[in-house]
Amino acid sequence: MAHAYTPGLRVTPYTVLRRSRRLPMKGLVLARVGETVHREQVVARTELPGNVRTMNVVNRLGIAADELHTFMLKKEGDSVQKGEAIAASRPLIKWFKTTVEAEVDGVVESISAVTGQVLLREPPLPVEVLAYVDGSIVEVLADEGVVVETRGAFVQGIFGVGGEAYGPLHVLSDAPGQDLTVEMIDAGCAGRTIVGTGLVTHAVIDKARQVGAAGIIGGGMHDSDLRILLGYDLGVAITGAEDIGLTVIVTEGFGRIAMARRTFDILRACHGRQASLSGATQIRAGVMRPEIIVPDLGGAPPIAEKDATHGEGMREGDPLRVIRAPYFGHIGKVGRLIAELQKVESGASVRVLEVEFEDSSRAVVPRANVELIEE
């Protein structure tokens, strides 16, 4: 392999970012190229086909399926109201007449003379896509959505839960490695994105949810707390659709881990500024990490967005974090790239490098167990 290392998470105080905002199916795009948009502005809209309600009309009328058409009062394509008669029997004595009424508002989608079923399609469901970040439209994706460009601070987390949220950053720690406590969360956190720099517990998240915080960011969390938060054991890392009342992002991993200083410095510098965040994480093909974007549209001229996953490889002096025991969470830099395979404690012979930690100590670790901190 050309690069035997994990591409790093991006953590940068100022960059240019583009975000595609697509509808799940074709629809109407509501913004134009060059238009300035607000994060909560609707930029595209469509309608998903309504739910389908099946009604077994032949059973209710006590007739054969191939007779169904002769008993139908409505035909395919007709609109119906809930409670409106759609089929009726024709007994000799009117008193015995049986009527089948529509169970929902909608349109008659199909009438089957084989199964005796009538399918009613409910009215379409509107779907709207928001701009997500303050910025401007740089591209319109015909009938599908837009590309929004913004400038500002950008921090990728390692794992998150909950969808997109908005709220000014509210930094409650003054150094990396400080756990958030329940007492630190008060009414002043309402509508804000709380930032801690150590462990985030379920009790803290729960309090943040109670006071109405938009999101909460920390260094790490325990899996046991995640399980309580979600109500189930998360098996596969595909998140973002959880309905948990706020968005939770950890920047380092599971366990009590201090937030990297660089991440902390950037978030602290953005204290009080409006942030867009997303907890969506996907670790299979098409990697997606949770993110915090703090737009600063009045900043310096744009620099093209760097592609984080296709860097030029690892060089001596590059900042990195170790992402596996025994040095998990430690920050350092590439000391020396060792060409020969080396046997590590587990007995495996692997490609390694020498890491120089912040306290100047050094250790040899597998290359697969470090990730570059990318700007």
Partner 1 sequence: MSKLDVVIATDCGSTTTKAILIERQGDIYRQTCRGEAPTTVEAPFEDVTRGVLNAIQEIEELSGRQILDGERIITPAEGNRGVDIYISTSSAGGGLQMMVAGVVGSMTGESAQRCALGAGAIVMDVLAANDGRLPHEKIERIRHLRPDMVLLSGGTDGGTISHVVELAEYIAAADPRPRFGTGFELPVIFAGNRDAQSEVERVLGSKTALHLTENIRPVLERENLGPARHVIHDLFLEHVMAQAPGYRELMAWTGAPIMPTPAAVGQIMQTIARRQGINVLGVDIGGATTDVFSVFTVIGDDGVSAEPVFNRTVSANLGMSYSISNVLAEATMPNVVRWLPVDIDEADLRDRIKNKMIRPTTIPHMLEELQIEHAVAREALRLALVQHRELAVGLKGVQTERTLSDAFEQSGSGDSLIDMMSLDLLVGSGGVLSHAPRRSQTAAMLIDAFQPEGVTQLAVDSIFMMPHLGVLASVDEKAATDVFERDCIVYLGTCVAPVGDGKVKAGEPCATYELTIDGAAGGATRGALGYGALDLIPLAEGVEADLILRPNRGWNVGAGAGQELRTRVRGGVVGLVLDGRGRPLDIPEDLEARRRSLTAWNQALELYDDSGEEA
By the criterion CB under 8 A, which residues form the site for partner 1?
1-2, 6, 25-26, 49, 51-54, 65, 109-110, 112, 114-117, 119, 121, 158-159, 222-224, 226, 233-237, 253-255, 281, 283-286, 307, 310, 323-326, 328, 344-350, 365-366, 368-369, 371
Cβ distance to partner 1 smaller for residue 236 or 339: 236
Cβ distance to partner 1 smaller for residue 262 or 289: 289
Cβ distance to partner 1 smaller for residue 98 or 282: 282
Q: Are 135 and 43 in contact (CB under 8 A)?
A: no
CA-to-CA separations, 160 to 62, 138, 176, 192, 216, in angstroms, rounded = 54, 28, 19, 17, 10
* Beta-carbon contacts of residue 82 (< 8 Å; ≥ 6 apart): 101, 102, 103, 104, 105
Peptide bond into 7 cis (omega under 30): no
Cβ distance to partner 1 smaller for residue 244 or 350: 350
To the nearest whole angstrom, how small is the minimum distance from the Cβ of residue 116 to partner 1?
8
To the nearest whole angstrom, how small is the minimum distance from the Cβ of residue 245 to partner 1?
22
Cβ distance to partner 1 smaller for residue 35 or 305: 305
To the nearest whole angstrom, how small is the minimum distance from the Cβ of residue 347 to partner 1?
4
Cβ distance to partner 1 smaller for residue 41 or 56: 56
Cβ distance to partner 1 smaller for residue 26 or 75: 26
First to last CA, the chain: 24
To the nearest whole angstrom, how small is the minimum distance from the Cβ of residue 255 to partner 1?
4
Q: Are 213 and 193 in contact (CB under 8 A)?
A: yes
| Chain centre to alpha carbon of residue 143 | 23
To the nearest whole angstrom, how small is the minimum distance from the Cβ of residue 30 to partner 1?
20
Cβ distance to partner 1 smaller for residue 10 or 39: 10
To the nearest whole angstrom, how small is the minimum distance from the Cβ of residue 321 to partner 1?
10
Cβ distance to partner 1 smaller for residue 88 or 350: 350
Per-residue three-class SS string for 75-135: CCCCEECCCCEEEECCCCCHHHCCEEECCCCEEEEEECCCCCEEEEECCCEEEEEECCCCE
Cβ distance to partner 1 smaller for residue 160 or 215: 160
To the nearest whole angstrom, how small is the minimum distance from the Cβ of residue 282 to partner 1?
10
* Beta-carbon contacts of residue 170 (< 8 Å; ≥ 6 apart): 188, 189, 192, 193, 194, 195, 213, 271, 272
